Structure 1
Amino acid sequence: MKYIWCSPSDMGPNHVSDSSSLYVVRSILDPNDYLKTIGRLRMDVQKEVLQTMLKKANVVKNSSTFLIDNNHQVILASDMKAFPDFELPDSTSDAVTAQWQNDNNYYLYRALPSSQWSMVTVIPLNEVVQQSRQLRNDLLFMLVIVTAVTYVIAYLFSFSVTRRITQLTRRLRDVQNGNFIALAQTQGTDEIGELISTYNYMIEQISRLNKEQYKLGQEVKSAELKALQSQINPHFLYNTLDLINWMADSGMNADIKKVVKALSRFYKVSLSNGKDVITLREELQHVTFYVQIQNIRYENKITFENLVPDEFMDNRIPKITLQPIVENAILHGILGKPGREGTIRITAYLEADTIHLVVADDGIGMGDQQLQDARAGISKSRHSGSGYGVKNVTERLQHHFGPSFGLTYESKWGEGTKVNISIPVTREED
């Protein structure tokens, strides 16, 4: 044996005891005879050093580690105050390692080489259970943390994807309703970003085509309305020229001068330097010239009253709006009476931001079916131009000002007719 561990009690009764140390002893052999021992070398090891080493063996809280001799006496402990009573089982007599447990503790036994000592570690079972629970709780806590972090990451990723899909879906619904709204350009470079870029390009193209189509439609509509408008007055011109011819044959030269002057003024307002919208003052002058010519034709049996307030005179109105209505009042109303005479009165009033022009006559009026046809824009008149002239007025008013404006009718058979023309309050700068 090269060296051996021993306690002060193992050194014999004559040895001066030192309770603060343990010894490592080695024999010194005679160099001439290795079988002969000539002395012993002893090295003292402080118990505190060994006690620190024993404490490191306590991997479980409140556990204790003991050094015991072959008589099962405690030589040194990691905690000198914790000397639990335990007995080594018989199985440890020749064993190098062993382990067992009772109701409260778990024991680990290991024999130390080069000595008669052994090391026993006592672990309280409740500490093992507590540590296992703590480990379980720690693992559960870590699992919750990892799950929460994973969920947040997954949510942020899915939100980034679904948010853009939701925006794209919402915009597609808007497209179904006619609202062409583009999405923000910074939407990523993935597949959804490509879809959004394609959608924005589609919206841009559709908007451009819609604007072009709207502009073309407006031009076509304006051309159609101008074409209809140009058809309103040819029959009137034909009848007026026929009247002038008759007056010339009858030698009514002074009256011819009046007719030609009124006719020239009438068509001067009709042309209006190519403008489609004129002032209400100009429109009333246009109607006045028309009635003057008709009075020459029908022997001054038509009384025309212009009661429109001056404050409305600068308001804008599509040209040749009043003349077809006044023409209808003369041809279908006043001339239908036995005496072929009557009065046409034009008044105006303001309601909210809408001006209402009322053309009233005391002619024969309309029956229920005629009134329904007039409201529906259906004309069964024998007089050329009078029917589609009024229909053209409605279309032009709605073309310029919107569908909420136009004509409304009130009529009673034998009492006359009222036509209400609604236009917005506008000025030349509008």
Structure 2
Amino acid sequence: MRLIARKMSSIYKSLKLQTKFTITHLVIATIPMIVLAIFFYTKLYDMIIADTIRTEQDAATQTAPMIEESVTEILNALDKIKNEDFYHQVVSAHRTESLNELASSDAADAFLDTLDETIDLDLITDVKLYIDIPRTDPVFSNYPVCKTVLPINQAWGTYWYGIFNGSPSLHALFCPSFYLGSYEIKHNGDMAYIAKSTIIYEGERTPCYLAIYFSQKHFDTMLKDNLSSSSNVAYIINGRDSLVATSDQALSGTYHFSYDEVQEHFMSSNNFILKRVLDEDVYAGFYSIRNTDWYMVVAMPSQPMMKKSINIMAGFILVYVACILIAFLIATLLSHSITNRLSVVINQMSKARIGPPVALPAADTHDEIGDLISTYNYMTRVINQLMEDQAKAAEDLRIAEFHSLQSQINPHFLYNTMDMINWLSQQGRSADVTSAIQKLSRFYKLTLSRKKSLSTINDEIEHVSIYVQLQNMRFHDTIDLLIDIPDNLLDYSIPKLTFQPVIENCILHGILEKESKQGTIVLTGWLDEDDIVILISDDGIGMPEEKLENILTGNGSSGGKGSNIAVYNTHRRLQLMYGPEYGLKYSSTYGAGTDVEIRIPARYPEDGLIDASPDGTAEDPLKESHFIQALTLLTRPEINIYEIAKECGYDNPQLFFTEFRERFGCSPEEYRRQVL
């Protein structure tokens, strides 16, 4: 034995480290699974049987009260009908009026209304009163009572009528489907609860039967819905060993228990009994239904349960084999990870959770761990480079989006301004056209004198003052602009074209919407801790609440004269530059005016917030004047666009088109279509 042990030890020591740990992990993973498999194999069938029985017991425990509730509903309906005055008078021994006279009374109408309320078609489907008197009696022709009160000859030949005749002491009977006549099943219902009484007719007592018809499908559905398996069956039998309802007609016949058998085993109904039926073991449980002579039987054949246990065992074996393969794979993978140097690599790599990865010293070996260190160092360099590239790309994207948003604002203003210049030209007011073009030139010098995106509040005030002057030239000085900005705010920086789109909205969609077409715009501002708040107020028409909700989302419409794109883009520019807590905030009272609050951080131009300029160089004033000239010429449809390009000093028209689009965000053709 010692020799064998030494030989085994020698072989183990000669194995490679990977093989040792593979074997170790396989043993650790497989031994518990083998023990577990043996345990489950011996206990599985018993567990499935116990679980199935418990499941069916729980289901039956829920189903029996549901059936009893339906029975109680039927009995309550019977009591409600019997309490009606019409029924009391019909069966009263002291009745003096004829049945026909009683059928024409108010009590009969109330009786029929109660019947209509009782019939819900889901459970109770109809109610009939059968009276054993000659069918020639006038009561059977008295509409609408004759639809409910019927002669007894309509029940002749039915099984339930024969049962009542053969059992004089019987006062009530739950009737399964085959107790009823074919006419009853077709027109009234396929089950019934019938109560027997008597009436006085021509001085003699004669029987009458109050029948409440209900649906067998209601009970079949309850039985079927509460079964845990389609191979099981639940059914109800009555004291005459008749089938009342079943979840499966065929199975209820195959696994039938007689009423006497059910009564014999009823004391064991809380625990399913095992019985041999047709050479097959069947587990059965029995439940008594209160207020009836019914028993509910739940039968479960053992063969499907055996098949279920075999399927589960087969599935367990497949899972077991898969787990063995996975355990082998895991053991093999884990064997590669058992080295001290690898722990060092893992520790170094874990630092990447709190910051950029840091390279390891170069490996002094060329095995797997050495290759891993080299690969890790390469990966570190690549990741750091990607992080730098991503940061630069994010900044470039932010600047590009800023340019894109701003480019959508410039054409919006130009279309409206050049439309005004075109109108002045058509009116022959050349002096006003010259003045407007000069003001427009100054307007764009303030906007485009440098390609930086920031201006000062003072320049923006001059910029928007020129804009209002241009608009007053068109609208006959109907707009007053009052500016009350403290001097200490004038040198703070603000993105270009911040005031103009808001003022434009105040004019076009506020003041000019009023009947008088006149109004005042007030521009004020103040410091709020580290922020600057600019308030632009107008006494225009205001905005309704639904338009106010959409103006800063880019989804709404400001009416027939334009869209909210300029205001929305101004809001988005401020948020892109400073953060989501900054931007525009609208409040308005419809019919009274609108207030727009602009919030930006209090910073000076030298703070260097953002510079969207590619090179920071000043723009050529001569080229700027050429573009102003181009804008004026584009309002004249008789001049060809290529001639305009040549007039502006461009030998290459394509270059003119490209720079025009970069400057104004649209092509010359698109601009002309918008203006004209």
The TM-score with structure 1 as length reference comes to 0.55
The answer on whether the counterparts of 1:366 and 1:413 sit within 8 Å (CA) in structure 2 is: yes
Larger Rg, first or second structure (1 or 2): 1
What pairs up with 1:417-428 in 2 under 5 angstroms? 417-428=594-605
The answer on whether the counterparts of 2:408 and 2:569 sit within 8 Å (CA) in structure 1 is: no
The structure whose residues are more often strand, as a share, is: 1
1:393 corresponds in structure 2 to: 570
Deviation of 1:162 after TM superposition, in Å, equals: 6.2
Name the SS for the 1:407 alignment partner: strand
1:260 corresponds in structure 2 to: 437
1:297 corresponds in structure 2 to: 474
Unmatched tracts of structure 1, length 5 or more: 1-157, 175-179
CA 1:356–1:182 in 2, change beyond 3 Å: closer, same or farther? same
Deviation of 1:159 after TM superposition, in Å, equals: 10
Distance 2:531 2:519 in 1: 29
Deviation of 1:234 after TM superposition, in Å, equals: 2.9
The answer on whether the counterparts of 1:379 and 1:388 sit within 8 Å (CA) in structure 2 is: no
Which of 565, 589, 592 is 1:412 aligned to?
589
1:110 corresponds in structure 2 to: none
Letter paired with 2:535:
V
Deviation of 1:244 after TM superposition, in Å, equals: 3.0
2:452 is the alignment partner of 1:275: yes
Letter paired with 2:447:
S
2:458 is the alignment partner of 1:288: no
Deviation of 1:320 after TM superposition, in Å, equals: 0.8
Name the SS for the 1:376 alignment partner: coil
Distance 2:592 2:360 in 1: 67
Deviation of 1:225 after TM superposition, in Å, equals: 3.3
Sequence identity (%): 44
2:387 corresponds in structure 1 to: 210
CA 1:184–1:387 in 2, change beyond 3 Å: closer, same or farther? same
Name the SS for the 1:233 alignment partner: helix
Distance 2:596 2:581 in 1: 16
1:168 corresponds in structure 2 to: 349
Name the SS for the 2:564 alignment partner: helix
Deviation of 1:414 after TM superposition, in Å, equals: 2.0
The structure whose residues are more often helix, as a share, is: 2
Distance 1:239 1:411 in 2: 24
Unmatched tracts of structure 2, length 5 or more: 1-338, 608-676
2:531 corresponds in structure 1 to: 354
The answer on whether the counterparts of 1:363 and 1:415 sit within 8 Å (CA) in structure 2 is: yes
Deviation of 1:350 after TM superposition, in Å, equals: 1.3
1:136 corresponds in structure 2 to: none
Distance 1:229 1:289 in 2: 19
CA 1:239–1:427 in 2, change beyond 3 Å: closer, same or farther? closer
The answer on whether the counterparts of 2:533 and 2:599 sit within 8 Å (CA) in structure 1 is: yes
2:399 corresponds in structure 1 to: 222
Q: What CA RMSD, in Å, does the superposition of the two structures yield over aligned residues?
A: 3.1
Q: What per-residue deviation string (whole Å, max 9, x for no partner) do you get for residues 11-53 of structure 1? A: xxxxxxxxxxxxxxxxxxxxxxxxxxxxxxxxxxxxxxxxxxx
CA 1:291–1:316 in 2, change beyond 3 Å: closer, same or farther? same
Name the SS for the 1:273 alignment partner: coil
Distance 1:384 1:203 in 2: 57
Deviation of 1:203 after TM superposition, in Å, equals: 4.3
What pairs up with 1:307-322 in 2 under 5 angstroms? 307-322=484-499
Distance 1:362 1:375 in 2: 20
2:547 corresponds in structure 1 to: 370
Which of 352, 356, 378 is 1:181 aligned to?
356
Which of 481, 498, 501 is 1:324 aligned to?
501
- Structure with the bigger RCO (C-alpha within 8 Å, sep 6+) is 2
2:520 corresponds in structure 1 to: 343
What pairs up with 1:4-403 in 2 under 5 angstroms? 165-166=346-347, 168-169=349-350, 171=352, 173-174=353-354, 180-183=355-358, 185=360, 198-199=375-376, 201-382=378-559, 386-403=563-580
Q: How many residues align?
A: 268
CA 1:299–1:187 in 2, change beyond 3 Å: closer, same or farther? same
Distance 1:264 1:188 in 2: 68
Letter paired with 1:272:
S
Distance 1:347 1:323 in 2: 14
Letter paired with 2:516:
G
Deviation of 1:186 after TM superposition, in Å, equals: 5.4
Question: Is 256-265 or 316-325 further displaced after alignment?
Answer: 256-265
The answer on whether the counterparts of 1:329 and 1:361 sit within 8 Å (CA) in structure 2 is: yes
Deviation of 1:307 after TM superposition, in Å, equals: 1.3
Deviation of 1:160 after TM superposition, in Å, equals: 9.6
